[in-house]
Amino acid sequence: MSRSEVLVETDAVSRYYGKSVAVADMSFAIRRGEVLGFLGPNGAGKTTTMQMLTGNLAPSKGRVLIAGHDMQTAPEQAKRHLGYLPEHPPLYRDMTVDEYLDYCATLHSIPRKGRKAARERAKARCGLTEVGGRLTANLSKGFQQRVGLAQAIIHEPDVVVLDEPTVGLDPIQIREVRGLIRELGEDRAVILSTHILSEVQASCDRVQIIHRGQLVLNEGIKELAARMESQVLIAAFRKTPDQGLIQGLAEVRSVDVLEDRRLRITHEPGRDPTDALVRLSVAQDWGLYEINPEQSSLESVFVELTGAAAETS
């Protein structure tokens, strides 16, 4: 199997609830070895999309293919390649972790002989070795989440779908789970949904931003980083500088005045005017004491995209 084989493909998938559109004409593909981050505000259609990918919800229109099997016409073959952690981990409260994982292994037709090994492997990966004998109902939220994660990977699926995998975890557990996601992403396709932007930056290769049921962005994390590269400098001076001189610099596009003798300088992409500005300030004795690229984060890209989408819709 080539590493770049397409494992998940959706073809113009739509889902309506009555008249309201939860997901509209969504098409995308995920290859082996990719971690895809599904990003969007609450209610954007992330969970609906994940439910359609995993066969929990039938699309109103369009097709979902998992490892080449159509979820509608061959659901059992498709689901063999699938591990799913829903928003709320599907735990049976009256079972111990070991019993529960054994049950999941059976449901995923792991033969009896391999069950114990599969269970121990999943437990080790998710940091559950200590709690095997405890009832899932008595575990903390973080551990319950990890049991849910173990359930999703116990049968070594090609496609792992995780709906908000780090909700309820503490910072150390979040780092562990991100590590696990990276590791899983090496030889499978992983899809995770989140509304936490740093999570996508930390663990994904590719980002899809979804807003009101529509894909507004589908980019590699590198392209996204380029998009986020700052084009704005904030400079602070002790004396009031001459705006016209700064405007005259070749790299500078526009200058805005902020309070406290600060300037917001927008420059041409990839051409940083810092050196020129410093030389100018020394020559004119403006007393430049601070100069910073304005933080353009995923947040601002996100707001820009979803805000723009909101206006057009």
> Least Å distance between CB 16 and other proteins?
7
Nearer to other proteins, 51 or 203 (CB): 51
**Interaction of residue 130 with other proteins, rule CB under 8 A:** no
DSSP, collapsed to helix, strand or coil, labels residue 185 as: helix
> Can you tell me the distance from the alpha carbon of 47 to that of 87, in angstroms, rounded to the nearest whole number?
8
Residue among 84, 143, 237, 286 that touches other proteins (CB under 8 A): 84
* Residues numbered 135-164 forming contacts with other proteins, rule: CB under 8 A: 151
The answer to whether 77 contacts other proteins (rule: CB under 8 A) is yes
Nearer to other proteins, 154 or 181 (CB): 154
CB contact at 8 A, 165 and 8:
no
Cβ(9)–Cβ(32) below 8 Å: no
Binding positions for other proteins, 92-111, rule CB under 8 A: 92-94, 103-104, 106-109
Binding of other proteins by 253 (CB under 8 A): no
Smallest gap from Cβ 112 to other proteins, in A, equals 11
| Smallest gap from residue 221 Cβ to other proteins (A) | 27
Strand locations in the chain, DSSP E?
Answer: 6-17, 20-31, 34-39, 61-66, 69-70, 82-85, 159-163, 189-194, 206-211, 214-220, 232-237, 252-258, 262-267, 288-293
C-beta of 77 vs 274, nearer to other proteins: 77
Cα radius of gyration rounded to whole Å, the chain: 25
> What's the DSSP call for residue 31?
E
Site membership for other proteins, residue 256 (CB under 8 A): no
Q: Segment contacting other proteins (CB under 8 A): 32-40, 51-59, 232-240, 255-263?
A: 51-59
Closer of 92 and 289 to other proteins (Cβ): 92
Say how far apart CA 200 and CA 190 lie, in whole Å: 12
- d(C-alpha 21, C-alpha 75), whole Å: 24
23, 26, 82, 224: residue in contact with other proteins (rule CB under 8 A): 82
Residues 136/93, Cβ–Cβ less than 8 Å: yes
Q: Which 3-state string (H, E, C) describes 214-272?
A: EEEEEEEHHHHHHHHCCCEEEEEECCCCCHHHHHCCCCEEEEEEECCCEEEEEECCCCC
Q: Closer to other proteins by CB, 55 or 132: give it.
A: 55
Please tell me whether residue 115 binds other proteins under the rule CB under 8 A. Answer: no
Closer Cβ to other proteins, 58 or 303, answer by number: 58
Which positions touch other proteins (CB under 8 A)? 16-18, 51, 54-58, 75-77, 79-80, 82-84, 86, 88, 90-94, 103-104, 106-109, 151
